[in-house]
């Protein structure tokens, strides 16, 4: 096995697509496919099942993915030890981003690494804040942006941005002024399943106010929620930054929720006990700068 093959395999597995991985890695898709097939041949195992929508992991692929993260972390540690005296940002880092931000931050992150951190590589994983917190504890990601994280001894949290929650609706049907929390039952809501950070925030505030939310659809994908909202199938309770990344943002309008105003805090999260490499520090600074620029 070659390290490059393992890195390519991890990108394809995490992104679920050869085409997406080829863009992130900046390699031709046929070359990427050849490297992964060579890895399968070397191991005498099928690692990925190809289908029309992308790829899924086999049992052997899942086992290799677990080993692969550890291998690349060891390589990154070796790079750090050899380059620490020069304080170089070298090695490999994995960043977790929530769906409401991933689309807007991925491109500038990749561009920054290519321009300013040529000796480093970055992998970006999209997931809800609760999942990113779990990945930080397990070592699957090195740092991430999360909304309203639960306090955990294993994770160090730095607030980055405070945003207010809005009632998001189709532009033709959205309220013109602010919407009081007590009036939200009038609006059929499209919300993520229970456990999602925005759902928990809205339900806890509604419970304190004695308000029962009118949840008509449960959808786990933020882009899909915004597609439904734009199509007139209900309203969403999200931040304004969420609709700025939507493909149908011209169809949407955001009305602040008031009485009380509900805010969400975006935080930079990192493992508390893990040594901060030069690459981790530089990546954290870039993430913070990009998030605040929203």
Statement: residue 83 has pLDDT above 70: no
User: Between residues 237 and 274, which one has the greater pLDDT?
Assistant: 237
Point out the domain boundary residue: 86, 116, 139.
86
Q: What is the mean pLDDT of residues 2-10?
A: 91
- 187-208 pLDDT, tens per residue? 999 998 877 777 888 989 999 9
Point out the domain boundary residue: 68, 86, 104.
86
Statement: residue 87 has pLDDT above 70: no
Q: What is the mean pLDDT of residues 145-158?
A: 88
CB atoms within 10 A of CB 58: 15
Q: Which of 34-48, 125-139, 244-258 has the lowest mean pLDDT?
A: 244-258
Does residue 260 sit in the same domain as residue 167?
Answer: yes
Pairing outcome for strands 179-180 and 91-97: unpaired
Phi/psi for 83 (5° steps) reads: -105, 5
Closest CA to 229 of 245, 246, 241: 246
Q: Does residue 134 lie within any of the structural domains?
A: no
What pLDDT was estimated at residue 189? 94
Residue in this structure with the two tokens 């990344």, named with its chain if needed: 245
- 170-182 pLDDT, tens per residue? 888 777 778 899 9
Q: Which token pair is 219?
A: 């959808």
DSSP-assigned letter for residue 235: B
The pLDDT confidence band at residue 84, using thresholds 50, 70 and 90, is: low
What pLDDT was estimated at residue 190? 92
Alpha-carbon span 85 to 120, nearest angstrom: 16
Could you tell me the residue range of the domain that residue 193 belongs to? Answer: 162-265
What pLDDT was estimated at residue 273? 81
Q: Does residue 96 lie within any of the structural domains?
A: no
- 48-73 pLDDT, tens per residue? 998 878 899 999 999 999 998 888 88
Q: Does residue 289 lie within any of the structural domains?
A: no
Alpha-carbon span 131 to 151, nearest angstrom: 14
Q: Does residue 117 lie within any of the structural domains?
A: no
Q: Which token pair is 110?
A: 């990749």
Q: What is the mean pLDDT of residues 269-293?
A: 89
Domain of 209, CATH number, reads 3.40.190.290
Q: What is the mean pLDDT of residues 234-254?
A: 80
The pLDDT confidence band at residue 96, using thresholds 50, 70 and 90, is: very high
Q: What is the mean pLDDT of residues 125-143?
A: 88
Q: Which token pair is 175?
A: 């309220």
Residue in this structure with the two tokens 């290519």, named with its chain if needed: 114
Q: Does residue 60 lie within any of the structural domains?
A: yes
User: How many domains does the chain divide into?
Assistant: 2
Q: Does residue 248 lie within any of the structural domains?
A: yes
What pLDDT was estimated at residue 30? 92
What pLDDT was estimated at residue 25? 87
Point out the domain boundary residue: 70, 86, 102.
86
Those residues whose C-beta lies under 8 Å from the C-beta of residue 40, and which sit 6 or more positions away, are 46, 47, 48
What pLDDT was estimated at residue 143? 93
Statement: residue 85 has pLDDT above 70: no
What pLDDT was estimated at residue 197? 77
Domain of 77, CATH number, reads 1.10.10.10
Q: What is the mean pLDDT of residues 198-224?
A: 88
Q: Does residue 149 lie within any of the structural domains?
A: no
Statement: residue 247 has pLDDT above 70: no
pTM for the predicted model, two decimal places: 0.63
Statement: residue 228 has pLDDT above 60: yes
Mean pLDDT of the chain: 87
């Amino acid at each position: 096995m070659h390290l490059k093959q393992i890195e390519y395999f991890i990108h394809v597995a995490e992104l679920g697509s050869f085409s997406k991985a080829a863009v992130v890695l900046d390699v031709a898709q046929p070359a990427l496919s050849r490297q992964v097939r060579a890895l399968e041949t070397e191991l005498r195992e099928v690692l990925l099942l190809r289908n029309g929508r992308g790829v899924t992991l086999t049992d052997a692929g899942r086992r290799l993915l677990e080993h692969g993260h550890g291998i690349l972390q060891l390589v990154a540690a070796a790079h750090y030890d050899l380059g620490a005296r020069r304080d170089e940002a070298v090695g490999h880092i994995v960043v977790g981003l929530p769906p409401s931000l991933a689309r807007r931050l991925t491109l500038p992150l990749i561009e920054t690494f290519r321009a300013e951190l040529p000796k480093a590589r970055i992998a970006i994983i999209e997931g809800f804040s609760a999942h990113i917190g779990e990945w930080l504890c397990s070592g699957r990601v090195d740092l991430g942006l999360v909304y309203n994280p639960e306090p955990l001894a294993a994770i160090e949290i730095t607030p980055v941005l405070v945003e207010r929650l809005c009632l998001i609706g189709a532009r033709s049907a959205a309220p013109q002024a602010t919407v009081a929390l007590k009036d939200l039952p009038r609006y059929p809501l499209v919300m993520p399943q229970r456990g999602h950070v925005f759902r928990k925030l809205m339900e806890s505030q509604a419970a304190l106010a004695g308000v029962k939310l009118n949840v008509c659809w449960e959808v786990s994908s933020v882009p899909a929620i915004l597609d439904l909202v734009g199509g007139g199938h209900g309203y969403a309770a999200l931040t304004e930054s969420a609709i700025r990344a939507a493909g149908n943002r011209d169809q949407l309008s955001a009305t602040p929720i008031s009485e009380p105003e509900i805010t969400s805090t975006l935080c930079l999260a990192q493992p508390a006990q893990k040594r901060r490499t030069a690459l981790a520090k530089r990546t954290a600074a870039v993430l913070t700068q990009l998030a605040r620029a929203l």
